[in-house]
């Protein structure tokens, strides 16, 4: 059983399709499995009894079986109370619907019971596989009871499929993915919600879809075409050897699309906030975990953030991560000291699965999407973009985040590469937070590791001239993007807003990300609460912007691997903290070796049994008294 592919999975299939055998193979490697049997007693039906006996015979001895047919609500209770270390297999939902419709359990609110089951599946902490018959492909039954069953089972399948990370349809023993997994195996492309082309066939856009074989019991993985108007999403693989940009591996550059939507991005938007109670509850729960030391330290912030954004006091590690690399160059003095074409080379590396960012994404099992933003004009002479370009870039970024949420992504990592991006971010910070440009502009370092003070002064001059030119311009978010920000920061801002609308957390680590955070704060104040700062890299602009946004860097490693790569370097540590917080048991009750504060309690010292000797006869004496029996001494002490 792969630990990286999925957490909750629904297996659909017709009669004798092999759906149960496939579901059992997915959990075959688990040390123990809780098998939840939903079928009612077969009574005097020998054929049905034989089917149940065949299912029991296939189960390993390490599996435990729990019957849930007595009460339809029991299944949701078992799923919702399962622990993170549990593995559950429910076979099947058809039997559960049969019990639900049984007159013995009526009258009842069946819709509420189905909603309870779907909610339990959605927030299940354990690994969960559910099996259900697919009856929607057959003819409409001719009897009222048959129609009631198929209608109810269809509604249940839809509700559970929506709650699950992954949905698979088994036809003639062959599993077909219907819904993309929360996390993909290394080297696999994320599946689109649309139909996936068969191996060897041509997908949309003319690309041939190669098949990739996986271990027994894992889903077959096929590469899917990108959504129309969006850059391709790839999952880099870990490869050996020097970095080379191969021919034929580069996706064509796409023009920035206009999102066909009525969405209006403007200041004062009301977007969702994370759960205000789950974070403190998660931190309180950490205090009771059975750990030998004082706990997770600064990483408690990660657990609190994940709990608030996931809406549960027991958050789970982010299994599906997507890196959005925004590539956009800036002309003029802000790009002084950069090598012409260097940012485009970095973007091409990422598309080909090479370079630092792609390699770190491969190690983390993250998918990677390279986004080309419109180039910005010199800000010292005029606006970086016109109003139409800003609106299009904001909608485009929103759409990218929306697509990621629809694909089951649980965490976005915002990366950026572009000539002049750092200086432009400093200009945005100066315009929105009143910072002095020279204080937030990092020193310019050449490829040979030397400090280029001339280039740094040219960048300072360009930013100062741009701020002077726009001194009477509007300082609202859209206005700052048009005058100073440019295409990359505009797209990044749209990504943050779209992620907030989709309740999708974002990991930041560089100047473009925090500059977008400052702009999004003006458009929707809730956006910053969905952002987490992995490391400030020692960058002065990132440090100041983080302080303005109220973001504390999780680490102080002073990493300088490129925006996005710093966050991917820290990501395994964050996942480990979440995995520990979810899996560790509570401290045993009655353990009073330490007080509630974690410090040893005061030790009371016994008073010495000291008796001053009594004088014998008149006057002082130096003669020690004779030893008296223990009984006499005890009596006198009493």
Residue 593 sits at the vertex; the CA angle it makes with 587 and 597, to the nearest 5 degrees, is: 75
* Number of alpha carbons in the 13 Å side-chain half-sphere of residue 275: 19
Residue 499 CB contacts under 8 Å (≥ 6 apart), including other chains: 401, 404, 405, 412, 505, 506, 527, 530
Query: Which listed residue (284, 422, 563, 631) is catalytic?
Result: 563
DSSP 7: S
Cβ proximity of 407 and 192 under 8 Å: yes
How far, in whole angstroms, is CA 101 from its chain's centroid?
Answer: 38
β-bridge pairing 221-222 and 211-212: antiparallel
DSSP 626: P
The token duo for 627 is 């030893």
Q: Please report where in the chains the tokens 């950069």 appear, as a residue.
A: 338
Clarify whether 391 is annotated catalytic: no
Task: Give the CA diameter of the chain.
Answer: 121
DSSP 42: -
How far is the CA of 512 from the CAs of 278, 491, 502, in angstroms? 30, 10, 21
Q: Please report where in the chains the tokens 């702009």 appear, as a residue.
A: 519
Nearest to 428 by CA among 410, 417, 440, 418: 440
Backbone angles phi, psi at 93, to 5 degrees: -75, -20
Cβ proximity of 147 and 141 under 8 Å: yes
Instruction: Extract the runs of DSSP E, i.e. beta strands, from 357-439.
Output: 367-372, 411-417
DSSP 172: T
The token duo for 37 is 């049997």
How far, in whole angstroms, is CA 329 from its chain's centroid?
Answer: 29
Residues labelled catalytic: 563
């Amino acid at each position: 059983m792969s630990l990286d592919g999925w957490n909750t999975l629904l297996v659909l299939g017709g009669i004798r399709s092999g759906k149960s055998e496939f579901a059992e193979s997915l959990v075959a490697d688990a040390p123990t499995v809780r098998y939840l049997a939903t079928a009612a007693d077969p009574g005097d039906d020998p054929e049905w009894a034989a089917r149940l006996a065949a299912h029991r015979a296939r189960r390993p001895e390490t599996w435990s079986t729990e019957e849930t047919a007595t009460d339809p609500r029991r299944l949701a209770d078992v799923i919702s109370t399962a622990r993170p270390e549990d593995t559950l297999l429910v076979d099947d939902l058809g039997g559960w619907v049969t019990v639900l419709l049984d007159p013995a359990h009526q009258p009842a609110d069946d819709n509420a019971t189905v909603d309870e089951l779907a909610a339990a599946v959605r927030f299940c902490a354990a690994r969960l596989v559910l099996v259900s018959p697919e009856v929607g492909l057959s003819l409409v039954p001719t009897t009222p009871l048959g129609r009631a069953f198929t209608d109810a089972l269809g509604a249940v399948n839809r509700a559970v499929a929506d709650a699950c990370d992954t949905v698979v349809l088994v036809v003639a023993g062959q599993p077909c993915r219907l819904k993309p997994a929360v996390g993909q195996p290394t080297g696999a492309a994320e599946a689109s919600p649309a139909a996936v082309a068969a191996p060897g066939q041509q997908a949309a856009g003319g690309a041939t879809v190669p098949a990739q074989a996986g271990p027994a019991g894992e889903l077959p993985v096929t590469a899917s075409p990108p959504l129309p108007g969006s850059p391709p999403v790839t999952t880099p693989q870990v490869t050996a050897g020097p970095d080379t940009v191969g021919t034929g591996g580069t996706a064509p550059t796409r023009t920035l699309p206009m999102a066909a939507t009525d969405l209006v991005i403007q200041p004062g938007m009301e977007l969702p906030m994370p759960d205000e109670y789950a974070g403190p509850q998660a931190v309180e729960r950490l205090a009771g975990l059975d750990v030998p030391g004082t706990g997770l330290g600064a990483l408690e912030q990660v657990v609190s953030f994940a709990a608030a954004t996931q809406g549960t006091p027991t958050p789970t590690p982010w299994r599906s991560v997507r890196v959005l690399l925004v590539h956009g160059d800036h002309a003029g003095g802000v790009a002084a000291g950069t090598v012409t074409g260097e940012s485009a080379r970095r973007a091409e590396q990422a598309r080909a699965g090479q370079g630092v960012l792609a390699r770190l994404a491969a190690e983390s099992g993250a998918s990677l999407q390279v986004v080309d933003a419109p180039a910005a004009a010199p800000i010292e002479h005029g606006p970086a973009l016109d109003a139409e370009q800003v609106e299009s870039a904001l909608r485009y970024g929103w759409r990218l985040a929306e697509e990621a949420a629809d694909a089951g992504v649980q965490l976005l990592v915002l990366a950026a590469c572009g000539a002049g991006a750092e200086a432009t971010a400093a200009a945005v910070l100066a315009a929105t937070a009143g910072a002095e440009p020279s204080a937030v502009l990092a020193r310019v370092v050449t490829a040979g590791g030397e400090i280029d003070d001339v280039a740094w002064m040219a960048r300072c001059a360009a930013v100062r001239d741009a701020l002077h030119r726009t001194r009477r311009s509007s300082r609202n978010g859209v206005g700052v993007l048009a005058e100073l920000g440019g295409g990359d920061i505009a797209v990044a801002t749209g990504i943050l807003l779209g992620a907030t609308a989709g309740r999708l957390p974002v990991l930041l680590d560089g100047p473009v990300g925090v500059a977008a955070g400052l702009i999004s704060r003006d458009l929707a104040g809730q956006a910053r609460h969905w952002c987490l700062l992995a490391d400030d890299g020692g960058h002065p602009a990132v440090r100041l912007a983080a302080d303005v946004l109220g973001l504390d860097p999780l680490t102080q490693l002073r990493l300088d691997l490129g925006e996005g790569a710093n966050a991917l370097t820290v990501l395994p540590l964050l996942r480990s903290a979440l995995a520990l917080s979810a899996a560790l048991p509570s401290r045993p009750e009655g353990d009073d070796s330490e007080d509630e504060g974690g410090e040893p309690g005061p030790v009371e010292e016994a008073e010495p049994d000291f008796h001053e000797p009594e004088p014998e006869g008149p006057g002082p004496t130096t003669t020690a008294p004779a030893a008296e029996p223990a009984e006499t001494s005890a009596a006198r002490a009493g």
